Amino acid sequence: MGAVIGTTCSYPQVIGALQARDPGAAREFTGSPFAVSWLQRFLSSGPQERQGMAQQVQNAPGAAQYTGLINDVAGTCNNF
């Protein structure tokens, strides 16, 4: 999760990378006001707060299935 916590990407960059990687997941994500708000809050937070937020998400049911996608987005979002 280091790349996710340390990302310098903006919200539009993250969404661009997500759309490129998995358009269906991007539609689902952007269709959720809670998810959009959470990501915006995450990106505007410092590393310590991000760590806590990331840990909460990792503990959520079903989160494991998105780990690869999240890491891919974090690794490529600077290209968008």
| Number of domains the chain contains | 1
Q: Is the pLDDT of residue 67 over 90?
A: no
Mean pLDDT, residues 28-57 taken together: 94
> Full-prediction pTM beyond 0.85?
yes
Domain span at 25: 2-79
Torsion of CA 32, 34, 39, 45, to 10 degrees: 170
Return mean pLDDT, the chain. Answer: 93
* Res 50 pLDDT > 90: yes
The C-alpha atoms of residue 9 and residue 33 are separated, in whole angstroms, by 20
Rounded to an integer, the average pLDDT of 57-65 is 85
The predicted pLDDT at position 28 comes to 93
